């Protein structure tokens, strides 16, 4: 393996099935492309099927890329997508919870959740739970959830999860990205305790130049265009932490991968640390219970008891 981990370090993925949410653009697209080029059967789970199909057509591989409609702002859509994946495939090696929204105007999902918390965390919690049967039936399978540096300022406000009292875009985003890590660590704890063949990991892209900034103000985008290159990297580099978490045979369950450079903004993907808040066991367990109640999905992590 080279000192600087790249896509060249990804082993042959032939015979493996990978479901990637939000795979039609940005980090998700480059994750899908790299896995498909190594032989994986890639399923793009995306809200816009036409965009996903156009994106899939730009990736030339021996195995066709499949597209499944998935609107993470609708639990009904999450259930439908999971059902179609279960019907179509008898194994699932990789579930990559990649899609996300960043700083939108205050919006509710179809089910009444604040959009960032609903899409970034709750929908992926539900999707993972609904696909765990396939994951548990597949040796050495992994769930990789994409978080953000924004988790560092995150606090889970259990008294106002959906920002009904006060909405601050950055606060709600940070909460959702902290939730990604709390979920990952609690999922890994439960999987390990039940002797499951599946591992849960997380990754963050550092500062990656993607479409995530589309809801930012014109002033923010103007400033970012000038100073962004100093602290950001292109989306293909931003995808490397996800790819390493998904494919490195030495990546441990519960591991978080991100860029190696100062502040974890840029650089080769390595194992990194997350905020102390993300390791709070009480908050992890409480968020899991609340997520079960809100989504109606209770993930079963014990093999043979799905």
**Residue 2: predicted pLDDT:** 47
Would residue 306 count as lying in a domain?
no
**Residue 305: predicted pLDDT:** 62
Would residue 304 count as lying in a domain?
no
Would residue 199 count as lying in a domain?
yes
Residue ranges in the chain modelled with pLDDT below 50: 1-2, 220-224, 306
As for how many domains the chain has, the answer is 1
Would residue 301 count as lying in a domain?
no
**Residue 1: predicted pLDDT:** 44
Would residue 154 count as lying in a domain?
yes
**pTM for this predicted structure:** 0.92
CATH number for the domain harbouring residue 97: 3.40.50.720
Contact 43, 85 (CB under 8 A): yes
**Residue 303: predicted pLDDT:** 86
Domain containing residue 224: 9-295
**Residue 232: predicted pLDDT:** 76
Active site residues: 173
**Residue 207: predicted pLDDT:** 83
**Residue 146: predicted pLDDT:** 98
Q: Using the 8-state DSSP alphabet, how is residue 268 labeled?
A: S
Would residue 2 count as lying in a domain?
no
Residue 276 φ then ψ, to 5°: -55, -35
**Residue 224: predicted pLDDT:** 47
Would residue 249 count as lying in a domain?
yes
Written in H, E and C, the secondary structure of 5-32 is CCHHHCCCCCCCEEEEECCCCHHHHHHH
Would residue 45 count as lying in a domain?
yes
């Amino acid at each position: 393996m080279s000192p600087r981990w790249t896509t060249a370090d990804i082993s042959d993925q032939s015979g493996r099935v990978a479901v990637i949410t939000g795979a039609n653009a940005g980090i998700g697209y480059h994750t899908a492309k790299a896995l498909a080029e190594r032989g994986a059967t890639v399923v793009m789970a995306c809200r816009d099927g036409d965009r996903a199909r156009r994106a899939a057509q730009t990736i030339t591989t021996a195995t066709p890329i499949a597209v499944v409609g998935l609107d993470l702002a609708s639990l009904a859509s999450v259930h439908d997508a999971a059902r179609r994946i279960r019907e179509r495939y008898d194994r699932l090696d990789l579930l990559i919870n990649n899609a996300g929204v960043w700083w939108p105007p205050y919006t509710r999902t179809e089910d009444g959740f604040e959009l960032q918390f609903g899409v970034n965390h709750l929908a992926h919690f539900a999707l993972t739970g609904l696909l765990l049967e396939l994951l548990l039936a597949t040796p050495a399978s992994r769930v990789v959830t994409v978080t953000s540096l924004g988790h560092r300022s995150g606090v889970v406000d259990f008294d106002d999860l959906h920002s009904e009292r006060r909405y601050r875009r950055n606060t709600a985003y940070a909460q959702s990205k902290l939730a990604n890590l709390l979920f990952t660590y609690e999922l890994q704890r439960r999987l390990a305790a039940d002797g499951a063949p599946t591992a849960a990991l997380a990754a963050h892209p550092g500062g990656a130049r993607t479409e995530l900034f589309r809801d930012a103000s014109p002033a923010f985008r103007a400033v970012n265009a000038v100073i962004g290159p100093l602290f950001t990297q292109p989306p293909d580099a931003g995808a490397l932490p996800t790819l390493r978490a998904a494919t490195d045979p030495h990546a441990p369950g519960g591991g978080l991968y991100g860029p190696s450079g100062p502040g974890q903004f840029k650089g080769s993907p390595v194992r990194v640390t997350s905020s102390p808040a993300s390791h709070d066991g009480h908050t992890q367990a409480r968020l899991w219970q609340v997520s079960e109640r809100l989504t109606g999905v209770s993930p079963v992590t014990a093999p043979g008891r799905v």
